[in-house]
Chains A and B, each alone.
Chain A
Amino acid sequence: MTRRPVHLAVEVRGAGAHPGAWRAPDSAATRLFSPAYHLLLAQLAHRGGLDVLFLPDSFVPPGDDPGLVRGALDAVAVAARVAPAAPRLGIVATATVTHTEPFHLSKAIATLDFVSSGFAGWQPDVSRTAAEADLFGRKAAADAGTLWREADEAVEVVTALWDSWEDDAEIRDVATGRFVDRDKLHPVGFRGEFFSVAGASITPRPPQGHPLVVLRADEPEALAVAARRADVVRISATHVGAAVAARTRIRDAVAAAGRDPDTVGVWLDVEVLVAPTAAQARERLATLDGYVRTLATVGTAPLRFAGTPAGLGDLVDHAVRSGAADGITLVPLALPGGLEQIVHHAVPHLVGRGLRPERPHGSTLRERLGLARPANVFEKGGVPA
């Protein structure tokens, strides 16, 4: 059996995924909003040759719990800020679709693809709460079914806007005075249940054609959207067995949507804390736990690993061999130290075991992941799906 390479990503959340992480003496709690902190994380991910850096985001306003890190910057802007300093690192920013304008989203992600020279991606998400709806005052919070129907439209129209310029629309023909061939610019003319968008994008087609589209399929309502539209599907599972079941479900849904499941990677989240010895890792985790009064878990508790680089290598190997994942998203429990451990110790170990390439290849993120450059739906008289 020939194995496909394991794709490796990291998601950075605030001071770390652990709610007590900001209290650690080596955390960057006072610098979470400074450009230097985000640069540090991106450059670490870059040095580690990771495929993707995930930057999560939401409009959820800060809650009342004084023991939690409050607030976050706009992820697309953070992605753009760090991209020039981390060439050939895939950068995937979350941008929600419930209260935002598809037209703005489309050009923002396209522009991220330009500033990262073809290494951008987008993780659409929905805004579920009344608190978020109140920040916009335009509509009420909706149920998951409605939210994901709208998300489906949003991804469709954002993608159509990327295609609204054919790749060779810009001609600069001095003889006729024409800068573009307007037959290669297409108004999207989208009318859906939730909104309509008339014109073509104001931004040319981005380097990858379509920046990578990543969706979470933890919610059943999101599965159909992911099956139709995702290049990569992210999952969270409590154990490897559950991930195997989830991946099978997703591959079936992808096939049912008329796509080849081998072109849609399923990436599993693993919260990590890596240390030189297992005892040190356990001790470190206990310290983090001790910073927090009550450890509440929201939703599915994700797979969590605290141990040595070799132990993490075993987990990754096991997950891939058992068909739980095509890629792993490491979510450091504490930053920036947790990412340093991954880059300096865990990644070299994975390379040593042949689970990661010595030098990541590919001149765009899609190429890196073995994905084709998407055809343009408007070319040769095509119409959007």
Chain B
Amino acid sequence: MTARKQIRLGAHFPGVNNTTVWSDPAAGSQIAFDSFAHFARTAERGFFDFLFLAEGLRLREHRGRIHDLDVVGRPDTFTVLAALAGVTGHLGLAGTINTTFNEPYELARQFATLDHLSAGRAAWNMVTSSDAFTGENFRRGGFLAREDRYTRAREGVDVCRRCGTAGPTTPSSPTAAPGCSCATAASPTCTTRRASSTCTAGSRCRAARRATRC
């Protein structure tokens, strides 16, 4: 008998579009931690694989003004997921994180941290959206053309993968004799020369080919 195909379930926290009904008397806060905790606990009670947070890095505008008809406002993804790791025990914690407006090293460290703090429950929804409007909130500014977006996304994942599997080793024994090594040999060095890492506003890219050594 072959095992029946198992259904995978993600629980999308109601977001900032018109799918979310805020006018219902039963609708609660979209920002209080209790709302996230309740939602996460329900998902875990229902044996979901993961909780899912979407993200948009600039408040939406309509006809030149902030769009006010849908829910507005959401927390920082990493921070709320780290807190949710404390109120759940099995549920995956998936965050939508933009590959254009975050730096690969920092992301790798944040995801590695989340994975430690949740004992192995971190997931990354990689999105590449990069309009100039959103870019105005960031040092990088500007936007990237679609090919460049995915080149940068690939590099971001690459750094995350290499770093995630190559960090220092934790001390093997706290009672090691004085003078003994705390960690093993130097942690591997990651070098990534990235085609898109030097993009500046208006998407001028250094044409350097990517060279990765680890």
Instruction: Assess A/B contact in the complex (Cβ within 8 A).
Output: yes
Mark the stretch among A197-205, A242-250, A369-377 that contacts chain B: A197-205
The 0/1 profile, CB within 8 Å of B marked 1, for residues 280-299 of chain A is 00000000001111000000
In angstroms, how far is the closest chain B Cβ from the Cβ of A240? 33
B117 interface contact, C-beta 8 A: yes
Chain B interface residue count, Cβ-Cβ cutoff 8 angstroms: 69
Q: Are A64 and B79 in contact (CB under 8 A)?
A: no
Cα A315 to Cα B171 in complex, Å, equals 35
Cα(A28)–Cα(B170), bound, Å: 11
Residue contact B72 to A180, C-beta cutoff 8 Å = yes
Give the distance in Å from the alpha carbon of A118 to the alpha carbon of B180 in the complex.
44
B85 contacts which chain A residues (CB < 8 A)?
A: 35, 81
Whether A177 touches B69, Cβ cut-off 8 Å, given contacts A77-B110, A200-B59, is yes
**Cβ B182 vs Cβ A68 within 8 A:** yes
Report whether A185 and B56 are in contact in the complex, using a CB–CB cutoff of 8 Å.
no
For A101, list chain B residues within 8 Å (CB). Answer: 101-103, 138-139
User: In the complex, what distance in Å separates the CA atom of A80 from the CA atom of B70?
Assistant: 28
CB within 8 Å of A: which of B76-132? Answer: 76, 78-80, 82-83, 85-87, 101-103, 105-106, 109-110, 112-114, 116-119
The answer to whether A111 touches B79 (Cβ under 8 A) is: yes
Assuming A68-B182, A100-B106, is B187 touching A197 (CB within 8 A)?
A: no
Q: In the complex, identify which listed stretch (A2-10, A133-141, A213-221, A225-233) lies at the interface while the others stay far away.
A: A133-141
- B174:A203 contact, CB within 8 angstroms: no
Interface size on A, residues (CB 8 A): 78
- For residue B73, CB closer than 8 A to chain A, the reply is yes
Question: CA A23 – CA B32 in complex, angstroms?
Answer: 42
Cα separation A194 to B69 with both chains bound (whole Å) = 35
Does chain A have a CB within 8 A of B147? no
In the bound complex, do residue A103 and residue B117 qualify as a contact, i.e. CB atoms below 8 Å apart? no
Please determine whether B136 and A112 come into contact, CB atoms closer than 8 angstroms.
Answer: no
B47 beta carbon closer than 8 Å to chain A: no
CB pair B174–A30 under 8 Å, yes or no, is yes
In the complex, residue of chain B having the shortest beta-carbon distance to the beta carbon of A63 = B186
Known: A170-B73, A200-B66. A30 touches B82 (CB 8 A): no
From B65, B83, B174, B198, give the contact of A81 (CB < 8 A). Answer: B83
Q: State the Cβ distance, B102 to closest chain A Cβ, in Å.
A: 7
> Is A28 touching B174 in the complex (CB atoms < 8 A)?
yes
Asked if A23 and B59 sit within 8 Å, CB to CB, the answer is no
How many Å from the CB of A334 to the closest CB on chain B? 11
How many Å lie between the Cα of A59 and that of B110 in the bound state?
A: 12
| In the complex, per-residue mask of A4-33: 1 if CB is within 8 Å of any chain B CB, else 0 | 000000000001000010111101111011
Least CB distance from B56 to A in Å reads 7
- Report how many A-B pairs have Cβ atoms within 8 Å: 218
B202 contacts the other chain (CB 8 A) = no
Q: Is B71 an interface residue (CB 8 A)?
A: yes
Other-chain residue from A70, A185, A293 in contact with B72 (beta carbon distance below 8 A):
A185
Q: A227 to nearest B CB, angstroms?
A: 26
Whether the pair B33, A179 counts as a contact (CB closer than 8 A) is: no
Please tell me if A71 contacts chain B, counting CB pairs below 8 Å.
yes
Establish whether residues A197 and B137, one from each chain, have CB atoms under 8 Å apart when the complex forms.
yes
State how many angstroms separate the Cβ of A203 from the closest Cβ of chain B: 6
Interface presence of B165 (CB below 8 A): no
Interface pair A179/B22, CB less than 8 Å apart: yes
Residue from B72, B110, B198 with most neighbouring chain A CB atoms (10 Å): B72
Whether, in the assembled complex, B46 has its beta carbon less than 8 Å from a beta carbon of chain A, the answer is no
The reply to whether A203 and B178 form a contact with Cβ atoms under 8 Å apart is no
**Which residue of B79, B86, B167, B181 contacts A82 across the interface (Cβ within 8 Å)?**
B86
Cβ-based interface call for A318 (8 A): no
B171, A30: Cβ atoms under 8 Å?
yes
The verdict on B19 contacting chain A, using a C-beta distance below 8 Å, is no
Interface string of A121-145 (1 = CB under 8 A from B): 0000000000000011110000000
Pairwise interchain contact A111-B167, C-beta atoms closer than 8 A: no
The yes or no answer to B6 lying at the interface (CB within 8 A) is no
Q: What residues on B are CB-neighbors of A203 within 8 Å?
A: 31, 73-76
**Would you call A167 an interface residue if the criterion is a C-beta within 8 Å of the partner chain's C-beta atoms?**
no
Chain A 251-278 per-residue mask, 1 if CB under 8 angstroms from chain B, else 0: 0000000000000000000000000000
Give, as a whole number of angstroms, the nearest-CB distance from B119 to chain A.
Answer: 7
Collect the chain A residues with CB atoms within 8 Å of residue B101's CB.
Answer: 101
- Check if B23 is an interface residue, CB within 8 A of chain A: yes
Query: In the complex, A202 Cα to B134 Cα: how many Å?
Result: 11
Given contacts A74-B109, A99-B106, whether A108 and B78 have CB atoms under 8 Å apart is yes
Whether a CB of chain B sits under 8 angstroms from the CB of A355 is no
Does A62 contact B187, Cβ atoms closer than 8 Å?
A: yes
A73 in contact with B117 (CB, 8 Å): yes
A67, B179: Cβ atoms closer than 8 Å:
yes
The reply to whether A103 and B138 contact each other, CB–CB distance below 8 Å, is yes
Q: Is the CB of A77 within 8 A of B75?
A: no
Q: By the criterion CB–CB under 8 Å, are A199 and B137 in contact?
A: yes
Contact of B33 among A67, A70, A82, A115 (CB under 8 A): A115
Instruction: Name A residues whose Cβ lies closer than 8 Å to a Cβ of B.
Output: 15, 20, 22-25, 27-30, 32-35, 38-39, 59, 62, 64, 66-71, 73-74, 76-78, 80-85, 99-101, 103-104, 107-108, 110-112, 114-115, 117, 135-138, 165, 170, 172, 174, 177-182, 185, 194-200, 202-204, 290-293
- Given known contacts A35-B116, A136-B103, what 13 new A-B pairs fall within 8 Å (CB)? A22-B174, A29-B174, A30-B170, A62-B168, A84-B33, A99-B106, A103-B57, A108-B76, A112-B79, A194-B139, A198-B137, A202-B59, A202-B74
Q: List 8 A-B contacts (CB under 8 A).
A: A66-B184, A73-B116, A107-B76, A114-B33, A165-B73, A178-B68, A200-B59, A290-B178
